[in-house]
Amino acid sequence: MELLSVAEMTCADALAVKAGVDSFTLMQRAGQAVAAAAQMLAPAGDIVVVAGPGNNGGDGFIAATDLAARGRNVAVVLFGKPDSLKGDAACAAKEWHGPLLPFAPQSLGKPALVIDALFGAGLNREVNGDPRVMIEAINASGALVVAVDLPSGISGDSGAVMGVAVKATRTVTFFRRKPGHLLLPGRLHCGEVKVADIGIPPSVLDVIHPKTLENIPAWWRGHFPVPGVAGHKYGRGHAVVMSGGMSETGAARLAARAALRAGAGLVTVASPRDALAVNAAELTAVMVREIGTAVDFATYLEDSRLNACVLGPGAGVGLRTRDMVLTALSGPRGVVLDADALTSFADEPQTLFDAIASQPGAQAVLTPHEGEFARLFSSLADKDHVLSKLERARLAARESNAVVLIKGADTVVAAPDGRASIAENAPPWLATAGAGDVLSGMIGGMLAQRVPAFEAASIAVWMHGEAARMFGPGLIAEDLADVLPNVFRDLYRRFEVNL
């Protein structure tokens, strides 16, 4: 579940060697894992290995040697000269006794499969010159492609395309995945990702202390709320969702119903007077209460059982929403801020951040899409060409003292302490109107059950994606809450929960 940055992976290799694992043995195991993947993907036909001048190329030489020993017709195309290779890569090249072809597109021929061992995860500059031409030729070849560690041209830390990148059929990485395997657009270039065990002891993670995690149930299982047999609805918390005016009530109702489905014991929609009738007519299990002003809201929130608030969906941009947000942040409760609640502070974000910093317990979650993020964190948005989504989320969380969730097909959740999760289970049909409102409500439902903010946001993101996956094409936002019971049942089975 841990995702290692390029620097952390380098550290893992070094720690493994320090623990007594020979570095060339690591390379041999990596190359053999690549060879096994290539053999499985293309059991017959010619294979070309495109090798670079570093350890990635060394892995490629080992793979070529292994495949030739299996009787496959293999050739290696090397970027650079053999005598320029150093260390383990040079040792791997010396074991190769097959064809060594010039670094030119013509050398590819028409293979069944190409092994991309040109550049590794640590690429930090744009690909130009002959390597760029070679990558373009690989992509145009029509061959199956197995990438070593990451497709050449993809940044391991950001998932960015460094000018041009290989489009792999399968990627074989080692020990742990990198953020670039999950973040877009890198994920789109990886194909199926296989993680090979090459003998790095898991104990190295105790030294590295990685803070980036793949958002999967395995890591948040300990925080997943499971109702007790002797429990009651008040024990599962009471979430309050703020509604906008009469013509803007749908988003709040989507969020409220999602909060209830996500497990909150009670949910109330706090509604202005003109929207009371429409909200009451459309809601059954969700309660409705008239809240006109921030003073009304403050009085209502004096009830300590109201332990989670969701503000923003359909709330309207302006002073009223801003005052409601500041009121919600004045007490020790979980607060989810989305959409209009974020845009209402676009001109004075520090006011919001100061309120979050002074909130008792500081359990705030901000859920912007990219446009809302740019309005609220303008200094970071201006750097989106140099900062990855993961980096921007982390910096925003630190600046705001809140958990920050940047939505998308690679949703990132970041905490002020540097922890972050990346999800990859969102299907394309989740990009539909109102889906974000449902997600806000689900986070509110988790906060109501006293799940810490970082875990609450991560759990809700994964379940949101899983509900959309289960429903399939044709999904609209109203469908998501109805699929959540199936998601819960699957999780209970996975966690072996007996109710």
Q: Does the structure show a pLDDT above 90 at 122?
A: no
Query: What percent of the chain lies above the pLDDT cut of 90?
Result: 93
The answer to whether the beta carbons of residues 162 and 137 sit under 8 Å apart is: no
Query: What percent of the chain lies above the pLDDT cut of 70?
Result: 100
**pLDDT band per the 50, 70, 90 thresholds, residue 362:** confident
**pLDDT band per the 50, 70, 90 thresholds, residue 386:** confident
φ, ψ of residue 359 in degrees (nearest 5):
-70, 130
Is 318 known as a binding-site position? Answer: no
Could you tell me which residues come within 8 angstroms of residue 111 by beta carbon, excluding any fewer than 6 positions away?
Answer: 45, 46, 47, 48, 141, 143
- Second CATH level (architecture) for the domain 217-495: 3-Layer(aba) Sandwich (3.40)
The CA–CA distances, whole Å, from 243 to 46, 262, 296 equal 63, 19, 14
Is 180 known as a binding-site position? Answer: no
Question: Quick one: average pLDDT of 115-132?
Answer: 94
Is 307 known as a binding-site position? Answer: no
Torsion angle of the four alpha carbons 316, 320, 322, 325, in this order, in degrees rounded to the nearest 10: -90
pLDDT at residue 384, as a whole number: 64
C-alpha to C-alpha distance for 484 and 37, rounded to whole angstroms: 36
**pLDDT band per the 50, 70, 90 thresholds, residue 13:** very high
Q: Does the structure show a pLDDT above 70 at 401?
A: yes
Is 181 known as a binding-site position? Answer: no
Could you tell me which residues come within 8 angstroms of residue 278 by beta carbon, excluding any fewer than 6 positions away?
Answer: 246, 249
**pLDDT band per the 50, 70, 90 thresholds, residue 285:** very high
Is 58 known as a binding-site position? Answer: yes
Question: Quick one: average pLDDT of 462-470?
Answer: 98
Domain boundaries, the chain: 6-210, 217-495
Is 189 known as a binding-site position? Answer: no
Is 303 known as a binding-site position? Answer: no
Burial level of 382, CB count in 10 A (0-12/13-18/19+)?
exposed
Q: Does the structure show a pLDDT above 80 at 382?
A: no
Is 251 known as a binding-site position? Answer: yes
What is this structure's pTM? Answer: 0.95
Q: Does the structure show a pLDDT above 80 at 313?
A: yes
pLDDT at residue 234, as a whole number: 87
Is 407 known as a binding-site position? Answer: yes
Decide the pairing of beta strands 47-51 and 2-3.
Answer: unpaired
Q: Considering only 88-92, 121-125, 303-307, 476-480, which range has the smallest mean pLDDT?
A: 121-125
The answer to whether the beta carbons of residues 440 and 336 sit under 8 Å apart is: yes
pLDDT at residue 16, as a whole number: 97
Q: Does the structure show a pLDDT above 80 at 383?
A: no
Question: Residues 491, 497, 499, CA angle at the centre, nearest 5°?
Answer: 115
CATH match of 6-210 with 3.30.413.10: no
pLDDT at residue 217, as a whole number: 97
pLDDT at residue 379, as a whole number: 86
Question: Quick one: average pLDDT of 91-99?
Answer: 96
Is 222 known as a binding-site position? Answer: no
Is 88 known as a binding-site position? Answer: no
Helix (H, G, I), strand (E, B) or coil at 76: strand
Nearest Cα to 188, choosing from 428, 406, 391? 428
Question: Quick one: average pLDDT of 410-417?
Answer: 97
In whole angstroms, what separates CA 88 from the centre of its chain?
34
